[in-house]
Amino acid sequence: MDYLSKLEPFLKDAWNNAGFTELTEVQQKAIPEILEGKNIVCESPTGTGKTLAYLLPILNGIDEKRMQAQSLILAPSHELVMQIHQEIQKWTKGTGINSIALIGGANVKNQIEKLKKKPKIVVGTTGRIMELIKMKKLKMHEIKTIVVDEFDLMIGNEHINNIRQIVKSTTADRQLLFFSATLSDVTDQVASELMETYDVIRINEGVVSSAKVEHGYLLSEQRDKIEVLRKLSNVKDIKALVFFNNLEKLSEVEEKLKYQKASLEVLAGESGKMERKHSLDRFRAGKVPMLLTTDVAARGLDITGVTHVVHFEFPTDSKQYIHRSGRTGRMGAYGTIISIVTKREESFLEKMAEELKLKVSKKRLHGGEIVEG
């Protein structure tokens, strides 16, 4: 069924102008259900097109004549809020559909002024949205749809109470859409608490098993891993996302590499807003070969042209390996996954490769290149 044909003309035009040819699997499955007004919980890896899966039907249902906020999209980070906001602006060009991004750390008075323009779509972080509701500056009674993007991250202690209160502040007949890279018992529990009925959509396509993505590893003593990473940063034309399990280790590696004058940027939740933007911009523009990050900080962000994903610290499970690895080899491009592992981690990697049916080969660094080990 061609659900695109059911959409408003401005969306069809924007679709054609964007040069898209067909809907991704998550879009094919989610769009009709959202158009029917159903509540959904959707699991889909990063890079599969889930933002448009909820944006197209939401934009399709906005009433331009009603001067009220009609849809609310919640996201875990400033960067992701801004990315979604820019996507909305791109798809609503030339229409009367206006939107606003509301994030903590930004001037609340300016945001209150902008709310007077009656934006029809609000995108924001939970803390700032809650603050504006309490100040009675953000009216929730006309909200028809709430999206919680990166739902699995948003049910952590930091956000969950805000989400409960935000959902309670709307009328009972609103639609709830929870999108997530991974679902778990906890996500099921929270979804059941907030919704009486909902459909679950699961998309398992990741680029992890794509023929264009190569999986390899470099064997290293624990104490030599930083030196291995430094050498990796000198590989020609590399644009690598380097993943860490925790901020302590990331900070330690950053400090040591910067002392050695290695070229890198860091994207971590702890940094200030402008600092994070600067880091992302420099990496996106190819001015540095490596961006050191954590799973939470990088989640949902669209960073094109990543040639390598490096697991500096070994992933906690195969799902995490898949999500990190899905950052490269997107849209049919070639990509390389490199795990820097100790002898002990090598056996974990072999088990994981078997479970995921992946061919993972041993590599080494030679003359500024990654070669077969």
Same domain, 217 and 230: yes
Pair (292, 221) in one structural domain: yes
| Residue-range definition of the domain harbouring residue 363 | 207-372
- Tell me which of 167, 202, 237 is where a domain ends: 202
CA 181 to chain centre: 8
CB 301 within 8 A of CB 283: no
Quick one: average pLDDT of 193-214? 79
Q: How many CB atoms lie within 10 A of CB 192?
A: 12
pLDDT bin (cut points 50, 70, 90) of residue 17 is confident
Cα 223 versus chain centre, distance: 32
Domain of 10, CATH number, reads 3.40.50.300
Identify whether residues 217 and 196 lie together within a single domain.
no
Same domain, 9 and 54: yes
pLDDT at 362 over 50: yes
- The closest of 136, 140, 182, 178 to 160, measured between CA atoms, is 178
Contact in structure between 220 and 341 (CB atoms under 8 Å): yes
List, in order, residues 6 or more apart from 288 with CB less than 8 Å away.
263, 264, 265, 282
pTM (predicted TM-score): 0.79
Co-location of 273 and 139 in the same domain = no
Residue % of the chain over a pLDDT of 70: 96
Residues 68 and 212 in one domain: no
* pLDDT band at residue 207 under the 50/70/90 scheme: very low
Is the pLDDT assigned to residue 60 strictly greater than 70? yes
Last residue of a domain, one of 138, 167, 202: 202
Extract the tokens encoding 278.
């600067």
How far is residue 34's CA from residue 46's CA, in Å, rounded to a whole number? 20
Shared domain check, 104 and 14: yes
Under the banding of pLDDT at 50, 70 and 90, the label for residue 205 is low
The arithmetic mean of pLDDT across residues 21-49, rounded, is: 89
| 188 and 251 together in one domain | no
Alpha-carbon separation of residue 254 from 93, 274, 293 (angstroms):
41, 18, 10
Dihedral (Cα; 279, 180, 314, 270), 10-degree rounding: 40
Rounded to whole angstroms, the Cα distance separating 167 from 196 reads 13
275 and 344 inside one domain = yes
Task: Inform me whether the pLDDT recorded for 41 exceeds 70.
Answer: yes
Is there a single domain that holds both residue 237 and residue 348? yes
- Domain co-membership, 335 together with 198: no
- φ, ψ for residue 305, nearest 5 deg: 75, 20
Instruction: Give 264-319 pLDDT, tens digit per residue.
Output: 999 887 677 788 889 989 999 999 999 999 887 787 787 888 999 999 999 888 87
3-state secondary structure string across 284-327: HCCCCCEEEEEHHHHCCCCCCCCCEEEECCCCCCHHHHHHHHCC
Task: Give yes or no for a contact between 224 and 335, defined as CB atoms under 8 angstroms apart.
Answer: no
pLDDT, mean over the chain: 90
